[in-house]
């Protein structure tokens, strides 16, 4: 059996942003360098046959010396264990990764200059292609060479799948499926794919959470090939992770009880994470308050106050903090009935029904109308280190959340009259 450790986007030199004060001083211990060191340890302990790096190993071209020490130390540990390291360059490290490979013995760059290159590891042939410049607007897959050998073939590629206008090596799912390889291990998109089935094709994802929106499991993949059968398993070892945590507040009697509800949900989630083979050192909770309540109007102010007062605490030996509290609590109101009205509450009800309904011209027009305002906000200097996801889903979610808050307050004003 041939065993490989495949690593997606590492982004050495990029430190986690938005951490609370007591954790900000430990950013390096929670960032990509720490995740890379954990991956190297796994590779050595498991005695894998090779480590594959799917591009964007380094955050920026000027980060040569930022990345040099940690990358070199890791590669040297692997070389001492007789584990080769094969890498392809992505759009972030187009120029710096070849320079690092020239300086670090045992770091082998595949596909330099945008030319496919094959490298045999035991009974497996790895085919790699590297970015020749920062922007590549055509697919490299058609130039994949035809090989005569009968070995198991793995394609290692940094690319943008099913995005025809992308400047980052756009490829289609169809051409990946039609290519003469047995598996594709992809870099560029930070959300990992399942990599399941007899012929896995998909993204490895980022090795650690690089932004708060990158929730859930992160880590390298263990690739086992035996008798032309492949099995991929993610090793969840990111030192920092973010968790999407819905909390239903429908049953609480007072808004003040919400803090206890959040802490109880956090305790359960952290206890489960503590059971991982490599537990995280810190977890940021992205709480979403859901359900229906007669006190819906009070939750936004309560959430804001909780965020002001929140500090880092420990659960099951893991540092835990509130990254944000998003309020999606609905008032006790019949949206269909409200939508008939011609007042502001009726308008908000119609907008909410539209946002929650199927895709259509009117819904798309509403999203497109508000996108520039959200995009402008995302580009503001105050939010430079935060995520800037402004796709249709993100815009619709932001509009729905704002409409719920406004509707709750309008209905509360009615009660006071």
Q: For residue 404, what pLDDT is reported?
A: 80
Residue 384 pLDDT greater than 80, yes or no:
no
- Cβ 225 vs Cβ 217: under 8 Å: no
pLDDT average, residue stretch 151-180 = 96
pTM of the model: 0.82
pLDDT in tens, 361-370: 999 999 989 8
Q: For residue 86, what pLDDT is reported?
A: 98
With cut-offs at 50, 70 and 90, classify the pLDDT of residue 417. low
Q: Token pair of 349, please?
A: 């009800």
What mean pLDDT value characterizes the chain? 91
pLDDT average, residue stretch 389-394 = 76
Q: How far apart are CA 92 and CA 94, in angstroms?
A: 6
Owner of token pair 């907008």: 351
Residue-range domain boundaries for the chain: 2-234, 241-416
Share of the chain above pLDDT 70, in %: 95
Q: For residue 377, what pLDDT is reported?
A: 67
pLDDT average, residue stretch 304-329 = 94
pLDDT average, residue stretch 108-116 = 97
Q: Among 40-49, 110-119, 125-134, 356-365, which is the least confidently predicted range?
A: 356-365
Q: How far apart are CA 50 and CA 181, in angstroms?
A: 18
With cut-offs at 50, 70 and 90, classify the pLDDT of residue 286. very high
pLDDT in tens, 229-260: 999 999 999 999 999 999 999 989 889 899 99
With cut-offs at 50, 70 and 90, classify the pLDDT of residue 389. low
Q: How far apart are CA 109 and CA 104, in angstroms?
A: 11
Residue 149 pLDDT greater than 90, yes or no:
no
Q: For residue 373, what pLDDT is reported?
A: 81
Q: For residue 383, what pLDDT is reported?
A: 45
Q: 320 CB contacts (<8 Å, ≥6 apart)?
A: 266, 270, 282, 283, 285, 312, 313, 314
pLDDT in tens, 28-75: 999 999 999 999 999 999 999 999 999 999 998 888 888 899 999 999
Q: Is 194 left (phi over 0), alpha (psi -120 to 50) or beta?
A: alpha
Chain-centre distance for alpha carbon 224: 24
pLDDT average, residue stretch 118-125 = 94
Q: Token pair of 32, please?
A: 């990509």
Residue 388 pLDDT greater than 60, yes or no:
no
Q: For residue 415, what pLDDT is reported?
A: 60
Residue 385 pLDDT greater than 80, yes or no:
no
Class of 2-234 per CATH? Answer: alpha beta
Q: How far apart are CA 102 and CA 89, in angstroms?
A: 13
With cut-offs at 50, 70 and 90, classify the pLDDT of residue 410. confident
Q: How far apart are CA 392 and CA 208, in angstroms?
A: 26
pLDDT average, residue stretch 187-214 = 95
Q: For residue 382, what pLDDT is reported?
A: 41
With cut-offs at 50, 70 and 90, classify the pLDDT of residue 374. confident
Residue among 50, 195, 206, 199 nearest 128 (CA):
50
């Amino acid at each position: 059996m041939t065993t490989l450790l495949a690593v997606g986007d590492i982004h050495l030199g990029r430190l986690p942003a938005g951490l609370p004060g007591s954790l900000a001083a430990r950013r390096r211990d929670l960032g990509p360098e720490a995740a890379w060191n954990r991956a190297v340890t796994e590779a050595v302990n498991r005695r894998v046959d090779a480590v594959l790096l799917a591009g964007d190993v380094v955050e920026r071209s000027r980060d040569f010396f930022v990345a040099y020490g940690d990358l070199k130390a890791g590669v040297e540990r692997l070389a001492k264990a007789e584990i080769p390291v094969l890498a392809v360059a992505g759009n972030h490290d187009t120029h710096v990764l070849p320079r690092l490979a020239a300086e670090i013995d045992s770091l082998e760059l595949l596909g330099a200059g945008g030319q496919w290159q094959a490298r045999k590891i035991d009974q497996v042939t790895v085919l790699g292609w590297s970015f020749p410049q920062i922007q590549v607007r055509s697919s490299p897959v058609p130039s994949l060479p035809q090989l005569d050998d009968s070995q198991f073939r793995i394609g290692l590629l940094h690319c943008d799948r099913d995005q025809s206008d992308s400047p980052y090596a756009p490829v289609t799912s169809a051409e990946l499926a039609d290519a003469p390889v047995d598996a594709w291990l992809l870099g560029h998109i930070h959300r990992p794919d399942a990599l399941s089935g007899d012929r896995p094709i998909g993204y490895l994802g980022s090795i650690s959470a690089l932004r708060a929106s990158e929730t859930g499991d992160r880590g390298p993949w263990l690739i086992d090939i035996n008798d032309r059968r492949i099995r991929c398993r993610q090793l969840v070892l990111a030192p920092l992770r973010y968790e999407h945590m819905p909390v239903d507040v429908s049953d609480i009697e007072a808004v003040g009880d919400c803090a206890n509800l959040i802490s109880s949900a956090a305790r359960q989630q952290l206890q489960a994470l503590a059971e991982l083979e490599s537990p995280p050192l810190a977890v940021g909770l992205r709480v979403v308050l859901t359900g229906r309540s007669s006190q819906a109007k009070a939750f936004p102010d309560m959430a804001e106050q909780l965020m002001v007062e929140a500090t880092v605490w420990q659960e099951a030996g893991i540092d835990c903090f509130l990254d944000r509290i998003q309020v999606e609590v609905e008032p006790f109101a019949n949206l269909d009935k409200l939508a008939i009205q011609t007042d502001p509450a009726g308008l908000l009800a119609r907008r909410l029904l539209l946002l929650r309904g199927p895709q259509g011209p009117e819904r798309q027009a509403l999203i497109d109308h508000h996108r520039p305002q959200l995009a402008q906000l995302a580009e503001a200097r105050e939010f430079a280190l935060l995520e800037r996801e402004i796709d249709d889903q993100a815009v619709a979610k932001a509009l729905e959340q704002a409409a719920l808050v406004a509707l709750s307050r309008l209905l509360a004003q009615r009660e006071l009259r």
